[in-house]
Amino acid sequence: MLAWPLAAQEIVTTPIEEIPLDELIGQLTTTPTEEEEEFLTTSTEAVMQDVATASGGDLRILDKLTGQVSDVSLETGQTATLGFLSVKLNECRYPIENPSGDAFTQIVVRDNEGTLFSGWMLASAPALNAMDHPRYDVWALRCMTS
């Protein structure tokens, strides 16, 4: 094998004490372009949805090791067990204007060693607040509205 000599790059360092503070701040900040300024000044507001509470909800549980997918229907407060995993549905809410369009579920997922996940999951955006587990995935599907 042939070894090629590597070209060295000269690096010049200046101690921070030698640079005036105004000049240092000027190097760290930039002025936004017109497009960036327009983007920054455009106000966006979150749309608040009117929601109702359902009597229960449907969840999907994936065992990544075996590839088994299980859909479970739980009433509020009910717990489902799959292997060493237990999933409790505390609440399921849905938009009043579009009941089949989304679901907001508050769940607690536990295994033998403790709580793996506790929080809200959105059916329309499962990755927004996902459970991070090497073997199982759990996500909300829908609320039971009738």
Other Cβ atoms within 10 Å of 126 Cβ, number = 16
Q: What b/e sequence results for 5-29 when a residue is b if at least 16 CB atoms lie within 10 Å of its CB, and e otherwise?
A: eeeeeeeeeeeeeeeeeeeeeeeee
* Mean predicted lDDT score pLDDT of the chain: 82
Residue 142 in contact with residue 105, Cβ under 8 Å? no
The token pair at 22 is 């105004």
Single-letter residue type at 84? F
Give residues with Cβ within 8 angstroms of 92, minimum separation 6.
53, 54, 55, 56, 57, 76, 103, 104, 105, 106, 140, 143, 144
Give the whole-number percent of the chain exceeding pLDDT 90: 39
**pLDDT exceeds 70 at position 68:** yes
Collapsing DSSP states into helix, strand and coil, what is residue 50?
Answer: coil
**pLDDT exceeds 90 at position 41:** no
Closest CA to 87 of 122, 66, 52, 57: 57
User: Across residues 59-88, what is the average pLDDT?
Assistant: 93
Which pLDDT score, from 0 to 100, does residue 7 have?
61
Residue-range domain boundaries for the chain: 51-143
The alpha carbon dihedral of 64, 66, 67, 72 has a sign of negative
